[in-house]
Amino acid sequence: MMLSSDYKKHFQENFFLAYPVVLSQLGHVLVSVVDSIMVGQTGTLPLAASSLGNSIFTVVMVLGLGLSISITPLVAGAHGRKNKKRISLLLINGVLVCTAGGLLLFLSGYLISPLLRHLNQPVQVVNLAIPYFHILCFSMLPLMVFQGFRQFAEGLSLTKQSMYISVIANALNVVGNYMLIYGKWGAPALGLNGAAISTMLSRVIMAFMMGYYVMNAKRLKVYRLRWKRKFISVRHMSRIIKLGWPISLQMAFEVGAFSFSAIMIGWLGARELAAHQIAISIASLTYMMAGGIAAAATIRVGNLFGRGQVTEMQKAGYSSLMMVIIFMSTAGLMLILLNNFIPQLYVKDPEVIKVAAGLIIIAALFQISDGVQVVGLGTLRGLEDVKIPSMISLLAYWGVALPIGYVLGFTLGGGANGIWTGLLIGLTIAAILLFFRFRKLSLEK
């Protein structure tokens, strides 16, 4: 592929669309990172418990996020075709699907929580993790309402609003953590559970603010049908779910592999599990920021494909991939330079710091692969291609990454480093296959 002169335009458009999403995604994951740092100050066991709770909760969460993400390419395509009525129906039915999904995931998460006692984890860690996990599951309700409104707005290329809201909510979460974890300003000292309560309250605020914007902004008035029963469309709900469930499965396959890796690392001990939480929280930062570029790729590819501008669609996709390679290369270099410093922000335990520093080096090595695979997925979602990418994720993570990680970690005695090396291999395979999938489809359109 030759780099043509008008790629500069695509880089600019991608950037101005992506950076608010990047900051918004950053706000999402910073909630977890800040929680981990502040909880880590209370000891290794609470940090290990947050690792276990977050590992399982993240699988629940991405099932919901995947469902909501399907709204964006549908709205972007309808926007490209200037179909205002369809956009309006996607707003109403998208928010309803997300709300129902949030309720279902909350109940499902609560019901599966006793299984944490059967994962061969340290007993003290499990006892701390279960109530923490319950509170996080309840936060799925407001989070999914927020996502319904957010993905609708992003489908119309309105990405700054969720950025501002995420920044505000993250700041409030830090304040809430300070009060509820440590018992400051008259609040009770709730430790790990205080972090979960603060997260839940920040997500309630996010849902209210995003909903208020969409339902009151003048520029969106044309898309607001009156919320009457006749506008509840089974066809539109089915379309959202049909596109969303493969995205949910793909995300669950990927995140589930990391979560199961945390379970395997828990077999090694509480210190290793705490180290995993440190490394995964940092890797999640760069992943979610790359996810912002992927979201912009979904919007631009979907919109241009809806207009029938195939050549421009291809350039939008390839320029997004170039952007993420540059960004993740820089991130990888920073992780290598700071691998010993970062763990010290979380804990004082020298053994935990040593293990975490090694895992951060491996995270640095898979940055480019992680970025290419997430943006590859974003471009394919813009083309409404979701089933084959789900199968690629299943193969790469569960067929390759976890088995290799188990062999390297336990059979060959590599420990946590061996398990993470398996993830590195799986991410690289996923990146290669998804890139060629987009290349093939974009040439066929």
Residue 397: closest CA among 367, 378, 422: 422
Provide the token pair at 404.
């290799």
Range of the domain at 402: 7-444
Q: Specify if 57 maps to a domain.
A: yes
Do 370 and 289 contact (CB within 8 A), yes or no?
no
Q: Specify if 1 maps to a domain.
A: no
pLDDT classification of 445: cutoffs 50, 70, 90: low
What confidence tens digit (pLDDT) does each residue in 377-430 have? 989 988 888 889 889 989 999 999 999 999 999 999 999 999 999 999 999 999
Does residue 105 register a pLDDT over 80? yes
Contacts of 30 (CB under 8 A, 6+ apart): 170, 285
Q: What is the pLDDT of residue 51?
A: 75
Write the single-letter amino acid at 61.
M
What confidence tens digit (pLDDT) does each residue in 113-160 have? 888 888 777 788 888 889 999 999 999 999 999 999 999 998 888 878
What confidence tens digit (pLDDT) does each residue in 13-45 have? 777 777 777 777 676 666 667 777 777 777 777
Does residue 334 register a pLDDT over 60? yes
Does residue 4 register a pLDDT over 60? no
pTM score of the predicted model: 0.74
Q: Specify if 215 maps to a domain.
A: yes
Total number of domains constituting the chain? 1
What percentage of the chain reaches a pLDDT higher than 90?
31
Rounded distance between C-alpha atoms, residue 291 and residue 295, angstroms: 6
Q: Specify if 21 maps to a domain.
A: yes
Buried residues in 134-170 as b, exposed as e (16+ CB within 10 A): bbbbbbbbbbbbbbbbbbbbbbbbbbbbbbbbbeebb
Q: Specify if 256 maps to a domain.
A: yes
- For the residues of 124-152, what is the DSSP string, one character each? HHHHHHHHHHHHHHHTHHHHHHHHHHHHH
Rounded distance between C-alpha atoms, residue 320 and residue 21, angstroms: 14
pLDDT classification of 1: cutoffs 50, 70, 90: very low
Q: Specify if 311 maps to a domain.
A: yes
What confidence tens digit (pLDDT) does each residue in 368-390 have? 999 999 999 989 988 888 889 88
Q: Specify if 2 maps to a domain.
A: no
